[in-house]
Amino acid sequence: MNYKKLGNTDLDVSTICLGTMTWGEQNSQEEGFEQMDYALEQEINFFDTAELYAVPPKKETYGKTEEIIGNWFHERKSREKVILATKISGNGPSWIRNGGFQYNEKNITEAIEKSLARLKTDYIDLYQLHWPERKANYFGKLGYQHQNKEEEWNDFEKILIVLNKFVTQGKIRHIGLSNETAWGLTKFLEISKIKNLPRIASIQNPYNLLNRTHEVGLAEISVREKSGLLAYSPLASGYLSGKYRNGQMPKNSRMDLFFEFWPRYRTPNAEKVIDEYFKISEKYNLNLAQMSLKFCEIQPFITSVIIGATTMEQLKINIESVNVNLNDEIIKDINNIQKIYPNPCP
C-alpha cells in the first residue's frame, strides 16, 4: 500500500480509501464487515463515510452505514487502526434535523454527537462538510448564476469557530470539505489563517477519467495549500469498470437498481469515451478499472482515492490497482482521449 500525508497534518493515510456508502442498502452488515477486514489486511488505514449514508439516501437508511462501522469497531477492537472520515449533511433532506441549513452550532453539535454514538468512538479523524449550503455548482451543475439577493447561509468563520470547539474537545481531529468550489476552499483557508482557526486538510470531490475538472483550478490550490483531493467516484459509478459497455446491465448492479439516481455518467459522449479508454487498457493488457484508479492515484494533487465495491471480487480488483504501473506512453494515450473529448461528464 502507498501512503500520503493528509494535508499538513501528521496523519499518513493510504492512497486507497475504503468507501462505505453502499453498506446498509446494497450491502449487509456482514458484507461490510468482510470488506473492512480485508481492507485492513491490505494495509488500508483510511475509511470514509457520512451521516447521510446508505445511498441512495432515504429516511429508513439514514445513519445505517455509520452504525455498521461502529459495530465493526466494537467487535474487532480496531478503532485505533483506522483513520476515519465522516460528513455532516448540508441543507438537504427533511428527515435530517428537519432539513434547512445545517452548519450552525446547534445542528453541528447534534450531528457530531450522534455520529460519534453510531460509530461507537470518542473521536473522528476527519470531519467534512458534505456540500455547500450556498448556491454553488456541485453534483455536476454547470453555468453558475449568482443571485444578488441570495438566501442567507451560515458564515464560514462561524462554522470554523463551532468546529474549533470540537477540535479543542478532542472529538474531531481535522476538518475537510466536500463537493466544494475553488472559491469556497480558498475562503475557508483564508479565514482559518487570519483567525487562527482549524485548517481545511482535504477536499472530497469527484475525479475520474470522465471528469478531470479538478485539474482546472482546484489542483493548484490542493498542491500549494496542502489541501489534497480525496477523489470520489473514481470509476464513475462503475462505468469505468467496463461492466455497462455495449448496453450491458448486470443484475443488482448500481445502475440496475438505481438507474434514475445516477444520470451523471450518461451524457452524449460518455459511452464512446469509455470505449476509447477500454481500447487503451486492452492495448497495454490492463484491467480498465485498475488503469482508471491508478491514473487517479498518481496525480500530485490527490491524497487518496475513495473506492466503493459491492462484491469482494470488485474490492480485490480495486485495491490491487496500487500495484499497476502506468508508463509515459499509457499516460500520453489517456491524455490524448481527454484532448479529443474533454470532461464528457463534469
Helix (H, G, I), strand (E, B) or coil at 324: coil
Is 131 part of a structural domain of the chain?
A: yes
Is 346 part of a structural domain of the chain?
A: no
Give the model's confidence band at 150: pLDDT under 50 very low, under 70 low, under 90 confident, else very high: confident
Give 187-195 contacts, CB < 8 A, sequence gap 24+.
187/156, 188/156, 188/160, 189/221, 189/225, 189/227, 191/156, 191/157, 191/160, 192/160, 195/157, 195/160
pLDDT for 147 beyond 90: no
Is 345 part of a structural domain of the chain?
A: no
pLDDT in tens, 114-127: 999 999 999 999 99
Give the span between the Cα atoms of 310 and 21, in whole angstroms. 10
pLDDT for 53 beyond 90: yes
pLDDT of residue 82: 98
User: Which of 162, 77, 68 is CA-nearest to residue 112?
Assistant: 162
Owning domain of residue 300:
3-340
Residues sharing a CB contact under 8 Å with residue 86, sequence separation 6 or more, in sequence order: 48, 49, 50, 51, 66, 115, 119, 124, 126, 127, 128
Q: Which of 1-5, 132-136, 291-295, 330-334 has the lowest mean pLDDT?
A: 132-136
Angle at 57 between CA 268 and CA 48, to 5 degrees: 90
pLDDT of residue 124: 98
User: Which of 137, 68, 127 is CA-nearest to residue 102?
Assistant: 127
pLDDT in tens, 263-315: 999 999 999 999 999 999 999 999 999 999 999 999 999 999 999 999 999 99
pLDDT of residue 42: 98
pLDDT in tens, 72-110: 999 999 999 999 999 999 998 999 999 999 999 999 999
- 38, 53, 138, 207: the catalytic one is 53
Is 221 part of a structural domain of the chain?
A: yes
Side-chain half-sphere exposure of 86, counting CA atoms within 13 A:
30
Is 74 part of a structural domain of the chain?
A: yes
- Considering the chain, what percentage of its residues have pLDDT values greater than 90? 93
pLDDT of residue 151: 83
Amino acid at 106: K
CATH value at residue 155: 3.20.20.100
Give the span between the Cα atoms of 76 and 257, in whole angstroms. 31
Give the span between the Cα atoms of 102 and 322, in whole angstroms. 37
pLDDT in tens, 189-225: 999 999 999 999 999 999 999 999 999 999 999 999 9
φ, ψ of residue 326 in degrees (nearest 5) = -105, 110
Give 221's DSSP letter.
H
User: Which of 126, 159, 149, 156 is CA-nearest to residue 17?
Assistant: 126
pLDDT of residue 289: 98
φ, ψ of residue 95 in degrees (nearest 5) = -80, -5
pLDDT for 325 beyond 90: yes
Give the span between the Cα atoms of 93 and 26, in whole angstroms. 20
The mean predicted confidence, pLDDT, of the chain is 97
pLDDT of residue 262: 85
Is 330 part of a structural domain of the chain?
A: yes
Number of domain units in the chain: 1
Q: What is the pTM of this model?
A: 0.97
pLDDT for 152 beyond 90: no
Within its chain, how far is the Cα of 241 from the centroid? 18
Q: Is 53 a catalytic residue?
A: yes
